[in-house]
Amino acid sequence: MSDHSGHHDVNYKKIYFTLLFLLVVSVVGPEFGILWVTLVTAFGVAAVKAYLVIENFMHLRWEKKLMKWMLTSSLIVMALMFFGIAPDVMKHEGRNWVNQAAIAATERGIGGHGEEESAGEAVEMVEAEPGVFNAQSQYNIACATCHGQQGMGDGAAAAALNPQPADFTDPAFWTERDRDRIYTVIREGAAAVGGSPLMVAWQNTYNDEQIEALTDYVMGFQPE
């Protein structure tokens, strides 16, 4: 306690009012809607505020070098983490890969929310989402991993599965299956009708209407 009490002739009140002034700046700045002004006033000012608090209120200014190194090293570790991970998570495509799901999510978001300003309407959008349910894209996300995009049971994960996923284009598959059975299997999983537990139930992911749509889509693979 006593070792650094001599230094504490800080004018805390002055620092406090500076902080309040900076708060006003950071709120008013972004109102102009200019990108760089927003960035500087929002994040630049936040950094200055944080610096003032850490140096004066937390008295880091009077601490030993050791302490500063400690904090700096944890910040460096964070920066390292960010730059190591960001190339994979932040970007949606690279030299040999495309993150289709993320691109789709972005497009959906921009298309859907573009004009909505007020909160109420945006909420409707969230609830209106099922209306634009697209059986094909959902099939490609949820089912194609095993059953394949063409329904031939040759999805990327199929090789590792035993028993093998069903091939919807195989006439033999359809000899003893009707639409109701497909619907039940999607909804409750194959184990519900005595099949493999590897075909899981989707009733918690999709509502009945969506499962109907998916059933129709799967029925579409049936050879004439």
Partner 1 sequence: MADTAVQVEHDHHGADAHHGPTGILKYIWSTDHKIIGMQYLFTGMFMAVIGGYMAYVFRMQLAFPGISVPGFGQVSPGEYNSLITNHGSIMIFWVAMPVLIAAFGNFLIPLMIGADDMVFPRINRLSYQIFLISALILLASLFVEGGGFGGAWTSYPPLSAVAEYNLTNLGSTLWLTAVALEFVAFLLGGINFIVTLMNSRAPGMKAYDIPLTVWMIVIASVLFMLSVGPLMAGAVMLLFDQTLGTGFYDPARGGDPILWQHLFWFFGHPEVYVVLLPAIGFVIDITATFARKKVFGYKIMLYTAVATAVLSFFVWAHHQFVAGIDPRMANVFTITTLLISVPIAELLFVMIATLYGGSITLKTPMLWALGFISTFLLGGVTGIFLGASGADIYLHDTYFVLAHFHYTFFPIAIIGTFAAFTYWFPKMFGRMMDERLGKIHFWGTIIPFNTIFIPLFMLGGIGQHRRIYNFEHFPELAEPWMFTLRQIATISLVIMLLFQFVFFYNVIKSWISGKKAGDNPWKANTLEWSTVSPPPHGNWPPAELPKVYRGPYEYSHPDREEDYWPQNEPA
Partner 2 sequence: MSHAKPIATLRSATGIPTGRLAIWWVLASEVVIFGGLIAAYLMHRLGHPEWADAAAVTNTMIGTVNTFVLLTSSFTAVLAHQAAERGDGKKAAKYLVFTIGGALTFVCIKSYEWWYEISHGYTITSNTFWSFYYTMAGLHALHVIAGAIIMGVVAFDAYRGRELQRVELIGIYWHFVDVVWIFLFPLLYIAK
Q: Which residue type, as a one-letter code, is found at position 5?
A: S
Q: Which does 95 bind (CB under 5 to 8 A by kind): partner 1, partner 2, none?
A: partner 1
Q: Which does 162 bind (CB under 5 to 8 A by kind): partner 2, partner 1, none?
A: partner 1
**Among 46-54, 157-165, 199-207, 210-218, which window interacts with partner 2 (CB under 8 A)?**
46-54
Name, in order, each residue with C-beta under 8 angstroms of 221's C-beta and a sequence gap of 6 or more.
150, 151, 168, 169
Q: How many CB atoms lie within 10 A of CB 91?
A: 11
Nearest partner of 195 among 213, 177, 210, 208, judged by Cα: 177
Total residues at the site for partner 1 (CB under 8 A)?
A: 31
Residue among 11 and 137 whose Cβ is closer to partner 1: 137
Euclidean distance between CA atoms 36 and 64, whole angstroms: 36
Strands in the chain per DSSP E = none
- Is 211 in contact with 183 (CB distance < 8 Å)? yes
Determine if 136 is a binding residue for partner 1 (CB under 8 A): no
Euclidean distance between CA atoms 182 and 84, whole angstroms: 44
**Among 3-11, 116-124, 148-156, 201-209, which window interacts with partner 1 (CB under 8 A)?**
201-209
**Among 21-29, 131-139, 143-151, 210-218, which window interacts with partner 2 (CB under 8 A)?**
21-29
Name, in order, each residue with C-beta under 8 angstroms of 170's C-beta and a sequence gap of 6 or more.
153, 223
- Is 177 in contact with 199 (CB distance < 8 Å)? no
Determine if 81 is a binding residue for partner 1 (CB under 8 A): yes
Q: Which of 25, 37, 63, 154 binds partner 2 (CB under 8 A)?
A: 63
The residues binding partner 2 (CB under 8 A) are: 1, 3, 5, 8, 12-13, 16, 19-20, 23, 26-27, 30, 38-39, 41-43, 45-46, 49-50, 53-54, 56-59, 63-64, 66-67, 70-71, 73-75, 77-78, 81-82, 85-86, 89-92, 102, 105-106, 108-110, 113-114, 116-117, 119-120, 122-123, 126-127
